[in-house]
Amino acid sequence: MDLLRKEALASPAVPACRPWPRMAVDQATWRATINQLAAGECDLLSLWSDGAQVHLAAFRPSDASVQILSLDCAGGSYPSVGRAHPSALRLERATFDLYGVVAEGSSDTRRWLDHGRWGVRRPGGAGEATAGAADPYTFLPVEGEGLHQIPVGPVHAGVIEPGHFRFTANGEVVVRLEERLGFVHKGVGQLMSGASIEGAAKLAGRVSGDSTVAYAIAFAQAVEAALEISAPPRAVYLRALMAELERLANHFGDIGAICNDASFALMQAQCALVREKILRASKACFGHRLMMDCVSPGGVAHDLSADKAACLGELLDWIRLMTPRLIALFGDTTSLQDRTVGTGILNTSLARQFGCGGVIGRASGREFDARKAIGYAPYPDLSFAVGGSRDGDVDARVWVRFDEVSASTELVTQILERMPHGPINVEFQARTGAVREGAALVEGFRGDIFAFLRIGEDGTIESCHLRDPSWFQWPLLEAAIKGNIVADFPLCNKSFNCSYSGHDL
């Protein structure tokens, strides 16, 4: 059980990583950790590489601790985690695409992010130029009588992000769905290497535009942890305020969009109105509708004046008035309930196995919320309830979103009431003459965003890894749609609302 810890004590020292230690481990400990992951004793947070080592972050629910392990992979390979714990499979494939390190014994060695179109192989490792012609890709075989394939995307009929979905259906019933992603790979990791902290913070805020605040907070927390500084209390509260506003706007947008996919445009019109008001208030308070670049390492970029706080208070009163009406509209429209109840069920064991965070996990009985589980400031000082359900269907995911909307409304009120006074920024010196590492786990509206970074002696970012919650949600969509009809896929997909951009990085 505690093999991991004993090994850790004996393991050699690596650059100090804060707030959670990083341990260099040998293959035996690595394999022991894989077994623990497979047994469900801890949840995989992320798996990534920097070329020389492969890193694994895991969360242990029993004592709410995070462990980061590093295995030397100078030989170009490491024992596969995905073989025993499937949620690591796509991370391993992406790691191979970027750094060329092989997961030994993996059951899936196909390329994932790299479609052969980058013009370069292994951009993170020893990059070698290629012609840029598309690689062939083999979808998993499906056998049976009367089956037919439906390829959808990457270009869709609506204006949405690109992703390819390969359905195998028997008439209308989906037998298997296989996703192919990676079409919006931007190379954020490579762009960050060597960037200044300010430049990298901007990049972090652009990984997934709709959760720019959560990403910026994750990055800022990791930098602050690495440099052993802390943002002033007012900045911490302002960050939480922005994060909750972002959560509110996105959840309202999602609820409306889910209903719109059942052709119930009335709900979308109402929700879009609420979302728009929140975005305009964000623009008025922080100067940007999505609050991009408003959180920076060391603090926040904009202070909130008293009159703007009062405007936010009015907005909240209005949202408090609207939410019950929207809940009634959703719950009382039987034609809508007929579509959402029992559609796209994700069972609890899968949600647990994949460490699925956010609304999707909580709607399927996995009550993980980084705001509670990690308890980063200022959330321990605030009282709020995290919604949950065990049904795991589209309906449950909408209701959990409604729960979170109510919780976030109360949170914003508390934050505004308790907002401390003082500076909103702390001066810091990035050039410390030592290599420092920091990590953070922040709850965005989709789920927990993991950030790990290493700051070099000269104060620039040596490497940075950001893991979107969608990594562990996309594979579950494939499971949730199984046995449903093809025409219900848009509804399931929208209720998951995974990020393409954050996943493809």
Partner 1 sequence: MTIIFDLFAQILQMALVLLAAPLLIGFVRKVKAHLLRRQGPPIVQPWRDLLRLLRKETVLAENASWFYRAAPYFIFATTWVAASLTPTFENGLMFSWAADLIAIIALLGSARFLLALAGMDVGTSFGGIGSSREAMFGSLAEPATIMIVFTVSLVAGSTQLSEIASYMLAHSELRVSVGMALIALLIVAIAENGRVPVDNPATHLELTMVHEAMILEYSGRHLALIELASALKLLLYISLIDCMFFPWGMAPHGAGVVEMATGGVAFVFKLAVAGVLLAVFETSTAKMRVFRVPDFLGAGLMLGLLATLLVFVTRSL
Positions touching partner 1 (CB under 8 A) are 148-152, 156-159, 171-172, 259, 261-266, 268-269, 273, 333, 335-336, 338-339, 485-490
User: Could you tell me if 256 and 267 are in contact, meaning their C-beta atoms sit under 8 angstroms apart?
Assistant: yes
DSSP class of 145: T
Closer CB to partner 1, 172 or 457, in the complex: 172
Residue with tokens 């848009």: 490
- Within 13 Å, how many C-alpha atoms sit on residue 95's CB side? 33
The least CB distance from residue 331 to partner 1, in Å, is: 13
What minimum distance in Å lies between the beta carbon of 336 and partner 1?
Answer: 4
As measured in angstroms, the least distance from the Cβ of 13 to partner 1 is: 54
Where does 287-423 have alpha helices with state H?
306-332, 334-340, 348-353, 358-363, 370-373, 394-418
Q: For residue 418, what are the contacts with CB-CB under 8 A and spacing of at least 6?
A: 237, 378, 381, 382
- Enter the tokens of residue 291: 């609050």
Closest CA to 193 of 462, 465, 467, 505: 462
**Which stretches does DSSP call E strand in 115-213?**
120-121, 128-129, 148-152, 164-170, 173-180
* Least distance CB 249 / partner 1 (angstroms): 19
Question: Considering beta carbons, is residue 3 or 265 the nearer one to partner 1?
Answer: 265
Cβ pair 251, 281 in contact under 8 A: no
Q: Which is nearer to partner 1, 171 or 483 (CB)?
A: 171
Identify which of residues 261 and 391 has a Cβ nearer to partner 1 in the complex. Answer: 261
472 CA to centre of own chain: 8
What is the SS3 assignment for 338? helix
Shorter beta-carbon distance to partner 1: residue 158 or 422: 158
The residues, any chain, with a CB within 8 Å of residue 349's CB and separated by 6 or more, are none
Q: Single out the residue of 58, 139, 56, 130 nearest to residue 97, CA to CA.
A: 130
- Shortest distance (Å) from residue 399 CB to partner 1: 16
Nearer to partner 1, 50 or 488 (CB): 488
Nearest to 345 by CA among 389, 391, 387: 391
Cβ distance to partner 1 smaller for residue 150 or 434: 150
CA distance 329 to 268: 11
**Rounded Cα distance, 391 and 379, in Å:** 27
Q: Which of 201, 202, 228 is nearest to 432 (CA)?
A: 228
Give least dist CB 489 to partner 1, A.
5
Least separation in angstroms between CB 167 and partner 1: 8
When the beta carbons of 102 and 479 are compared against partner 1, the nearer one is: 479
> Which residue's CB is nearer to partner 1, number 151 or number 380?
151
Smallest distance from partner 1 to CB 258, Å: 11
Rounded Cα distance between 288 and 292, Å, is: 6
Closest approach of partner 1 to the CB of residue 410, in Å:
28
CB of 485 to partner 1, least distance (A): 6
Question: Toward partner 1, which CB reaches closer, 127 or 490?
Answer: 490
What are the CA-CA distances from residue 295 to residues 17, 129, 414, 461 (Å)?
A: 22, 37, 20, 18
- Smallest gap from Cβ 199 to partner 1, in A, equals 37
- The answer to whether the Cα torsion of 78, 83, 84, 87 is positive or negative is positive
Residue 140: name the closest of 188, 105, 106, 107 by CA.
107
Residue number with CB closer to partner 1 (32 or 329) = 329
Structure tokens at 235: 């900045």
Report the nearest approach of partner 1 to the CB of residue 302 (Å): 32
Nearer CB in complex with partner 1: 153/194? 153
Distance from C-alpha of 96 to C-alpha of 82, rounded to nearest angstrom: 13
